[in-house]
């Protein structure tokens, strides 16, 4: 099913004279201008965000995710202000953006009607990897509190199997970093400490590469049993109810 066919969207923050001249790429070059590629990705994210607005019902208690695609949704959300009764943010950055858009956030995540968020990876079963921005613990709380989880991505985030492009972020207590890293390594992963990064909860992140995600829900559960782990970025036990994928031809909906 196609949604949001209107491709006449322009990313904010760019003026024509600010862009490099990419109209004549170097001879024999097959590479796309990186600025144009970035603009096209943002246009697709805006398409997916626009399609997600259709799921905001009257009197909605709404959860809003984190990351660049969720930020696009926040940009468009004032159009639906009259329908929104309450908003819960999944990160401090999201809260700042929502408040700047004129929404007052509530801290209680219970009883939400809808959660809208992006993903780092999404497979054909609507299972996700999230947490590139380190907000996956709060994101999972909000997702699990919502009756419906609508995930919005552009086509670059689609994968045949989870783990193809991104590691699994694991939020750990600082004192548990070494212990959790050894347990992840015993599971076959290569854990990398995201040095210098501190989550909104005051914790650290281990990015677990090369995990076997054949049974993503089982792996999600096993990681969370490690002492000192707060949450990991696999969203298989709470996968998306609706997956909106933006492409150059429009937005597809899977549910």
Is 139 catalytic? The answer is yes
Residue with tokens 């009259």: 82
Residue 11 corresponds to which tokens in the numbers above? 């990313």
Q: What is the DSSP string of 105-169?
A: B-S--TTEEEEEE--SEE-TTS-EE--TTS-HHHHHHHHHHEEEEEEEEEGGGB-SSTTSS--EE
Q: How far, in Å, CA of 177 to CA of 66, rounded? A: 24
Altogether, the residues listed in the chain come to a count of 255
Q: How far, in Å, CA of 135 to CA of 157, rounded? A: 18
∠ CA 229-232-238, nearest 5°, is: 130
Give the active site residue among 43, 121, 139, 220: 139
Q: How far, in Å, CA of 207 to CA of 167, rounded? A: 6
Residue 38 corresponds to which tokens in the numbers above? 């970035």
Catalytic residue list: 139
């Amino acid at each position: 099913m196609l949604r949001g066919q209107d491709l006449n969207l322009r990313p904010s923050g760019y003026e024509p004279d600010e862009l490099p001249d990419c109209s004549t790429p170097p001879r024999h070059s097959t590479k796309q201008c990186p600025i144009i590629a970035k603009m096209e990705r943002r246009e697709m994210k805006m398409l997916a965000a626009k399609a997600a607005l259709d799921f905001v019902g009257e009197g909605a208690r709404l959860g809003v995710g984190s990351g660049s695609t969720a930020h696009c949704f926040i940009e468009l959300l004032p159009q639906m202000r009259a329908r929104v009764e309450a908003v819960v943010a999944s990160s401090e950055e999201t809260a700042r953006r929502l408040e700047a858009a004129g929404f007052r956030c509530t801290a209680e995540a219970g009883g939400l009607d809808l959660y809208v968020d992006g993903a780092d990876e999404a497979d054909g079963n609507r299972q996700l990897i999230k947490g590139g921005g380190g907000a996956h613990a709060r994101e999972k709380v909000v997702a699990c509190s919502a009756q419906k989880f609508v995930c919005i991505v552009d086509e670059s985030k689609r994968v045949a199997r989870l783990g193809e492009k991104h590691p699994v972020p694991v939020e750990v207590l600082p004192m548990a970093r070494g212990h959790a890293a050894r347990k992840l390594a015993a599971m076959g992963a290569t854990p990398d400490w995201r040095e210098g990064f501190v989550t909104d909860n005051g914790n650290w992140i281990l990015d677990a590469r090369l995990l076997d995600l054949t049974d993503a829900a089982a792996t999600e559960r096993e990681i969370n049993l490690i002492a000192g782990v707060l949450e990991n970025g696999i969203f298989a036990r709470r996968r998306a109810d609706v997956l909106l994928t933006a492409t150059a031809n429009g937005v597809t909906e899977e549910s």
